[in-house]
Structure 1
Amino acid sequence: MDVRTFWLAGRPATGDTELTVTNSHDGRVVGRHSVPTDAQVEEAVAAAHAVARQAAALPVHVRAEALAHVSRRIAERAEEIAQLITAENGKPILWARGETSRAVATFRFAAEEARRWSGGVQRLDTEPAATGRLAYVSRVPYGPVLAITPFNFPLNLVAHKVAPAIAVGAPVVIKPAPATPLSALLLGEILAETDLPPGMFSVLPIENERASALVQDPRLPVVSFTGSAPVGYAIADQIPRKHVTLELGGNAAAVVLADADLDWAAQRIALYSNYQAGQSCIAVQRVIVEQPVYDAFVDRLIPAVTGLVTGDPADEKTQVGPLVSEHAAERVEQWVQEAVAAGAKVLAGGTREGAVIAPTVLTDVPDDAKVVCEEVFGPVMILQPAASVDEAYAMVNDSKYGLQAGVFTRSLDAAFQANRELEVGGVIIGDVPSYRADQMPYGGVKDSGIGREGLHSAMEDLTYEKVMVLTGLTL
């Protein structure tokens, strides 16, 4: 089996050691990759720092065409990439193909946004003292970006950091998750086909414990991290003077009100509590159902959950595959067992086989159980009845997280009330909180993070406003 190179300042490179990537379903070796030495990591950072001015000055057409090229090449290699995602992540091929398609769109949106990215002007002669003055307002990159990405979307969450950085003219150093680095390395291969200058990107598959030096390096003034809240806030605490964006997940709630289409709600909630084996920041975890339809909804939900196809992620029919590792599955199993010991009832699932957790539905769960108040990151949902719309929304807000929420209702009043009252970054009406369009602003409040993804929003997050005032003009 060939050993994959990593990408050092835009070129392939090898280090002194190698790491092996395995499939969580059957344990087979998926690939091996070379690991950068400390000297090579230093070289990557130095190259990003050195090219920063050139990168910021790149003509828009160069940035946009590079992004468009990446989009086209991912589309051309879509099946190969999807198979790689499934192999290294354990994600069913159904979802891996979806992730690949989303990455195509993410880079395409970035190319489009890059071409629209422009400054603005303000007349300043609104007061006599500013007669003849005009302000030109542009956005300037803070500088090179350190992108730390998670395992659950090993291609598209890398894309959401790389694409906006290139679009604004910021070099980017990518540290992919150790469990799933191969997709990012393949993306590096495609980036290397573009006309971006050397140093514009590096992909460094290093161990997590080596990332601290990168985080603290002053030549990387922006750190964009997606992962768990404890790790994210520990990073932010280390670097109070840097610009930090954090996407830290949540325990997403789906609210089913009495006027909802119960069949639609049950099918969507069943699927999107368990897609990606629940390893999504916006997978449905808490299901809050208005009391008059609670029993009828449960009667629809349980068959929808137990009818999901679980098993080999390479099988075209599989909807729920393994977690990223058996260790991760053991943690989820333990949390379920703790809830049951505290009085919870299991309506479906609750069992584990290797890295696979059967899609699980719990009810009568104590409010302080981990499966309620923490992020499970596994195929587990909690059912909770609510006496009214007001109580349902209060229950959504009774969380330290606030990423997205879904509300199943036909009522515009209930929809706008949700938008006013729910303490989340996104409210999805008529569907699960798991819905995300890659061009829309995406991020949360409270312990769900700081900043926004979505191409235009992320581009703003990576830049600051700069004002040039022209004087002595006849306007």
Structure 2
Amino acid sequence: MPDPTQFWLAGRLTAGASTFTVRSPYDGKILATVAEPGADQVELAVAAAASVAPQLSALPAHVRASALAHVSKEIARRGDELARIITSESGKPLTWARAEVARASSTFRWGAEEARRFAGELTRLDTDPTGEGRLALTRRFPRGPVLGITPFNFPLNLVAHKVAPALAIGAPIIIKPAPRTPLSALFLGELLAGTDLPEGSWSVLTVPNDAVGALVADPRLPVVSFTGSGPVGWSIRDAVPRKHVVLELGGNGAVLVAPDFRAADDLARAAGRIALFANYQAGQSCIAVQRVYADRSVYDELLDQVVKAVGALRDGDPADPATDVGPLIDVAAAQRVEAWIGEAVAAGATLVCGGTRTGANLAPTVLTDVPADARVVQEEVFGPVIVLSPVDGLDDGFARINDSAFGLQAGVFTHDLATAFRAHRELAVGGVVVGDVPSYRADQMPYGGTKGSGIGREGVRSAMTDLSEERVLVLTGLDL
């Protein structure tokens, strides 16, 4: 891995103006001393991105595709090294860190493939007499350099979801990783440095969060792609209403177990998936399972099975491949979730299991009888907490899922095709996963939400469309 006391300025390793430390969420040990760019260095990165934009946009598709393919292969080749970096800086169990590495490699591979496919559309205009001899060619071109701001919970793959689509369409990108987890992004810089992309095509600026405002406001960065908390994301959009802003702001993922999903094997599978994906990153995923609504006819059995499945999860050192549940990102985050659990219990909820905290580690928690206005229901917990509630039929279940300020993804356990299509029609979310939890995401599919979950879509092809704009070329005097 490159020396973290240097950062990537326009594709070159550069010493920072100052430094900060990165600590392990698991035991608090110092992992690295990391460069912090100065204001003049940030200015150089932005100027380089603006300067190279025309050249990068005109770069042949095969050059951009080859660069992204190279990164994909290098991520896979150095996967174990990358996974251990992810685990050390984020506290993500090694098993899930390895899965993230595989996804990041796939994200860049999709970027390479889509860069070759991203063409245009021909429209005949002689459908009317005034259009005789005319043909329209519609192509998409970059809106301009991109500012990509990423969170701590997927320190590699969410960076990949900013970088790969931007470079695939020929847009320079400045990545601002989360200060708690900058090491994965710096490692990715080393892989990008091994490509033939022109200088200035990308930078990795390990600046503190309070330096983001100036970057967001800079007119030379007309696109801002942000993944993180709602208050920060909406404040960015409010600050630059004339920029193109993409926001992925999380949710409070809901599951409905329909009345037809009652066989013992069905309920055991649903319970296992619910337990695993409420806790697999200590709940720190925007599509982690949080709210579970089960038809009253299956509720008691499902609750028993979920508690059993949660009890089988192993917490501990995230570097141990046998660990299922690691720490939250820091002690403050664990204390917040612990407080929300306490609030719910004080309001009448039943603590079925978990709820205990040691440092940044919080035991996987199951709550029942939770008031509908409790924060563990209404807001994004971002911790290992499951709230189970009985519902009376599909109408009640769908209404409870929609009774939320968020709308990212939902899961519906059913065998009924009509229920699946009804869920797709009625649930106000960006994605419905039938037969599984909402935590499923394929990196090539459109991904994003409604309401407080943000605006715009990720997924490589969708993001390429979002980061570009249409331009029409009309050809005249043609013999069609």
What TM bracket, shorter-length normalisation?
Answer: over 0.9
Residue 135, structure 1, aligned to residue 140, structure 2: no
Name the CA distance, whole Å, in 2 between partners of 1:136 and 1:178.
44
Match for 1:474: what amino acid?
Answer: D
Matched, 1:101 2:102: yes
The answer (yes or no) to whether the contact 1:22–1:30 under 8 Å persists in 2 is: yes
Does residue 203 of the first structure (1) align with residue 183 of the second (2)? no
Q: Does the 8 Å CA contact 2:4/2:186 hold for their aligned counterparts?
A: no
| Match status 1:188 vs 2:189 | yes
Counterpart for residue 447 of structure 2: 442
Partners of 2:477 and 2:152 in 1: how far apart? Answer: 55
Matched residues in 2 for 1:10 and 1:263: separation? 50
**Aligned with 1:310: secondary structure?**
coil
**May I ask how many residue pairs the two structures share in their alignment?**
475
1:223-254 CA-to-partner distances (Å, cap 9, x unmatched) read 00000111100000000000000000000001
Give the distance between the partners of 1:168 and 1:71, measured in 2 at CA.
Answer: 17
My pick for the range that moved more, 251-260 or 221-230, is 251-260
Q: Please tell me whether residue 250 in structure 1 is matched to residue 251 in structure 2.
A: yes
After TM superposition, the runs of 4+ consecutive aligned structure 1 residues lying more than 6 A away are none
Letter aligned with residue 160 of structure 1: H
- For 1:422-468, what per-residue CA distance to the aligned partner results, in whole angstroms no more than 9, with x for missing partners? 00000000000000000000000000000000010000000000001
1:172-183 alignment, distance < 5 Å: 172-183=173-184
Return the match for 1:273 from 273, 278, 285. 278
Contact (CA 8 Å) 1:258, 1:293: kept in 2 or not? yes
Q: Out of 395, 398, 416, which is 1:393 matched to?
A: 398
In the aligned structure 2, how far is the partner of 1:178 from the partner of 1:197? 27
Cα separation, 2, equivalents of 1:3 and 1:302:
43
The 2-side partners of 1:389 and 1:401 are apart by 20
TM-score in terms of structure 2 length: 0.98
How far 1:127 moved relative to its partner? 0.4
Task: Note closer, same or farther for the CA distance 1:242–1:257 as it changes in structure 2 (3 Å cut).
Answer: same
Letter of the aligned partner of 1:14 in structure 2?
Answer: A
Q: Aligned equivalents of 2:60 and 2:474: distance in 1?
A: 23
Structure 2 counterpart of 1:232: 233
Looking at structure 2, the residues matched to 250 and 2 of structure 1 have their Cα atoms a distance apart, in angstroms, of 36
Whole-Å Cα distance in 2 between the matches of residues 41 and 447 of structure 1?
31
2:407 corresponds to: 402
Residue 370 of structure 2: which of 350, 365, 368 is its match? 365
Post-superposition shift, 1:3? 4.2
Stretches of structure 2 lacking an aligned partner (at least 5 in a row): none
How far residue 315 of structure 1 moved from its aligned partner, in angstroms, is 0.7
Asked if 1:469 corresponds to 2:470, the answer is: no
Secondary structure at the counterpart of residue 282 of structure 2: helix
2:147 alignment partner, SS class: strand
Deviations 1:166-196 (A, max 9, x none): 0000000000000000000000111011000
Match of residue 355 from structure 2: 350
Aligned pairs (5 A) from 1:273-422: 273-422=278-427
Contact 2:5–2:16 (CA<8 Å) still a contact in 1?
no
The residue matched to 2:366 in structure 1 has which SS? strand
Q: Provide the TM-score with structure 1 as the length reference.
A: 0.99
Match of 1:427 in 2: 432
Instruction: Name the aligned partner's letter for residue 268 of structure 1.
Output: R
Q: Please give the secondary structure, in 2, of the residue aligned with 1:233.
A: helix
Identity of aligned residues (%): 63
CA contact (8 A) 2:295 2:390 kept: yes
AA at the equivalent of 1:152: N
Tell me the SS of whatever aligns to 1:276.
Answer: coil
- What is the CA–CA distance in structure 2 between the aligned matches of 1:3 and 1:136, rounded to whole Å? 46
Distance apart, 1:256 and its partner CA: 0.7
Partners of 2:419 and 2:19 in 1: how far apart? 55
Q: CA RMSD in A?
A: 0.8
Structure 1 distance, partners of 2:137, 2:298, is 57
Q: Is the 8 A contact 1:103 1:155 kept in 2?
A: yes
Q: Which residue of 2 aligns with 1:215?
A: 216
Task: Give the deviation of 1:16 after TM superposition.
Answer: 2.1
- Following superposition, the deviation at residue 299 of structure 1 comes to 1.3
* Distance in 2 separating the partners of 1:226 and 1:95: 20
Contact 1:2 1:32 in 2 (8 A): no
Pair 1:165 & 2:169 matched: no
- Compute the displacement of 1:75 (Å): 0.5
- Which deviations, in whole Å up to 9, do the C-alpha atoms of 1:376-424 show, x marking residues without a partner? 0000010111011111011000001000000001111111111111000
Q: How does 1:3-18 map to 2 (within 5 A)?
A: 3-18=4-19
Over residues 112-145 of structure 1, what are the superposed CA-to-partner deviations in whole Å (9 max), with x where a residue is unaligned? Answer: 1111110111010000011000001000100000
The superposition leaves residues 351-382 of structure 1 with CA deviations (integer Å, 9 ceiling, x where unpaired) of 11110110001011111111000000000010
Asked whether the 8 Å contact 1:94–1:316 carries over to 2, the reply is yes
Kept in 2: contact 1:147–1:172 (CA 8 A): yes
SS in 1 for 2:179: coil
State how far apart, in whole Å, the 1-side matches of 2:405 and 2:304 are: 30
Kept in 2, the 8 Å contact 1:152–1:279? The answer is yes
Q: Which runs of 5+ in 1 are unaligned?
A: none
How far does residue 74 in structure 1 lie from its aligned partner after superposition? 0.4
Alpha-carbon shift at residue 2 of structure 1 (Å): 5.3
